[in-house]
Amino acid sequence: MNRISRTDGSAFTRRNEAWSEATELSSSTFRVRLGGPFRGAWLANLCCRLAERQISIDHVHARLTADDIWIAELHVLGQGALDLDYVAVAEETEINTKPAFFIDSYRLLESRDYGGTLMLTLEAPDSLGLLGSLLTRLALLGLVPVELHIETRAGRAFDSLWLCAAGGGPPPTDAPDAVAQVLDRSCRSASRS
């Protein structure tokens, strides 16, 4: 069942089991809720597409439930946020993103959450496309989040992600080293600029 409905200040889309609801909070601030059986790097796809449209992500809380259904809430800033079909955008597979991103610091820990994950926390200057670039780079390493909390305060990004292998299950044993290499390069690049 597919359904799209729009009213003043809100939009709802359902595509089979997936759905999205966007609500205007102010003239350029919107709350977007999504749910459904999204797969793979769907969140990286969505974040990259939003950045391409000059829509900035201010806050995110997303997690994969025990039933393999994603529940996500994003607060976004930018014009045109009510006009997007978020489900279709999340399911697109072609990503155009800048692979480089800059962070100030990070912490990477092995966690027992979700049957074994890597917990990544980081702090960075906020920039358009930061989350999409980070998630894309992690996807290229074969890692996807099963839960994430993203918050922007005073121009700074404070992110926490729990990462698993792209096919589900715990990350491979070499994942912490691979992630650390990528993040170390991002920290060094930030210190040179």
10-62, pLDDT tens digit by residue?
A: 999 999 999 999 999 998 899 999 999 998 889 999 999 999 899 999 999 99
- Laid out side by side, the sheet with 70-77 consists of 2-7, 10-15, 18-24, 29-36, 70-77, 56-64, 143-153, 156-165, 117-125, 105-111
pLDDT value of residue 193 = 40
The residue ranking higher by pLDDT, 3 or 160, is 160
pLDDT value of residue 96 = 61
As a whole number of angstroms, the distance between CA 180 and CA 190 comes to: 15
Distance from CA of residue 19 to its chain's centroid? 17
Q: In which band, very low, low, confident or very high, does the pLDDT at 95 lie, cut at 50, 70 and 90?
A: low
Q: Angle 175-192/130-140 helices, nearest 10 degrees?
A: 140
Q: How many CA atoms lie within 13 A of 180 on its CB side?
A: 10
| Nearest CA among 92, 86, 65 for reference residue 74 | 86
As a whole number of angstroms, the distance between CA 18 and CA 8 comes to: 22
Yes or no: say if 126 and 157 are a contact pair by the CB < 8 Å rule: yes
Evaluate if residue 126 carries a pLDDT over 60: yes
pLDDT value of residue 175 = 95
Q: In which band, very low, low, confident or very high, does the pLDDT at 149 lie, cut at 50, 70 and 90?
A: very high
pTM for the model: 0.89
pLDDT value of residue 55 = 94
Evaluate if residue 63 carries a pLDDT over 70: yes
DSSP code at position 28: S
| Nearest CA among 98, 75, 88, 93 for reference residue 25 | 75
As a whole number of angstroms, the distance between CA 77 and CA 150 comes to: 14
As a whole number of angstroms, the distance between CA 47 and CA 103 comes to: 17
Q: What is the mean pLDDT of the chain?
A: 90
The residue ranking higher by pLDDT, 80 or 118, is 118
Evaluate if residue 167 carries a pLDDT over 60: yes
As a whole number of angstroms, the distance between CA 108 and CA 120 comes to: 5
